[in-house]
């Protein structure tokens, strides 16, 4: 899921971008209204995280203008202004939600998930070249062929596919696919990666899943 971060504080913007990438989103960050306008000219975004105070405009005014142009976009306003009057001003300007700094990243995630669920913009498919994952039916195909994945294999493939081009280590995979109740010495990851490679890459000439020695695993970010 693509998200647009409009935040002029580079440290906060980088924190948001990296955190959201780990969670499987594809965030793009800009630091001003002018940069935001340039990005919006090329495409639409399902959700915008908008800072209230930007160097070239007030977030409430920007929000109101964005809402007039795109009734469907979800806007989460992020700001240090925490008075009731300022929150109401942001909401009246068209923001769908309002979170104040400092904030817990876990709360931000829940608010994003809630907004996307409300908008109906939940991701139902993932496509990486000829690899396609149907998240609703929990099945995967490559070049039109059903890969015949088990539930655990599908969960592992989804975990990788939601982070294309990103190296993930075995501990991240264990936590993301098997949850927190695991033995850190288990070879589950290595075993299931082998199963997955046999089904996803075995019959095909192009290999998608790579082992990056000493770091972890990555699924290639195949250009559309």
Identify the pLDDT of residue 72.
78
> What's this model's pTM, rounded to 2 decimal places?
0.56
Each residue's pLDDT tens digit, 159-202: 899 888 889 898 888 877 876 556 667 888 999 999 999 999 99
* Nearest CA-CA partner of 147 in 128, 164, 166: 128
Residue the block writes with tokens 């980088």 = 14
- The domains found in the chain, sorted by start residue, are 2-119 (3.40.50.2300), 125-219 (1.10.10.10)
Cα 176 from Cα 162, distance rounded (Å):
11
Cβ-contact 208, 131 below 8 angstroms = yes
User: What is the C-alpha separation between 181 and 76, in angstroms, rounded?
Assistant: 34
- 143 SS3 class: coil
pLDDT for residue 136? 73
Contacts of 100 (CB under 8 A, 6+ apart): 78, 79, 80, 81, 82, 87
Amino acid 70: pLDDT = 80
Mean pLDDT of all residues in 41-56? 87
Cα(87)–Cα(156) distance, rounded to whole angstroms? 41
Per-residue pLDDT tens digits for 88-139: 888 888 999 999 888 899 999 999 988 887 776 555 788 888 999 988 788 9
Between the CA atoms of 135, 136, 139 and 140, what dihedral angle is there, to the nearest 10 degrees? -40
Residue pLDDT, tens place only, 146-162? 999 999 999 899 889 98
Q: How confident is the model at residue 24 (pLDDT cuts 50, 70, 90)?
A: confident
């Amino acid at each position: 899921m693509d998200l647009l971060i409009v935040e002029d504080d580079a440290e906060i913007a980088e924190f948001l971008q990296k955190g959201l990438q780990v969670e499987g989103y594809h965030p793009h960050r800009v630091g001003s209204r002018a940069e935001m306008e340039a990005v919006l000219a090329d495409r639409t975004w399902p959700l915008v995280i908008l800072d209230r105070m930007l160097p070239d405009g007030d977030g409430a005014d920007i929000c109101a203008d964005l809402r007039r142009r795109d009734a469907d976009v979800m806007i989460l306003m992020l700001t240090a202004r925490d008075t009731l009057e300022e929150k109401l001003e942001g909401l009246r300007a068209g923001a769908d939600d309002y979170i104040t700094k400092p904030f817990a990243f876990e709360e931000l995630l829940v608010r994003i998930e809630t907004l996307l669920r409300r908008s109906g913009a939940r991701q139902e498919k993932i496509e990486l070249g000829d690899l396609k994952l149907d998240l609703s039916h929990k099945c995967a195909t490559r070049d039109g062929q059903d890969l015949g994945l088990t539930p655990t294999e599908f969960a592992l493939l989804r975990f990788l596919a939601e982070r294309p081009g990103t190296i993930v280590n075995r501990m991240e995979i264990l936590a993301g696919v098997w949850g927190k109740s695991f033995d850190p010495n288990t070879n589950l990851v290595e075993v299931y990666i082998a199963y997955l490679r046999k089904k996803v890459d075995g019959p095909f000439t192009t290999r998608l899943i790579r082992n990056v020695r000493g770091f972890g695993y990555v699924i290639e970010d195949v250009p559309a």
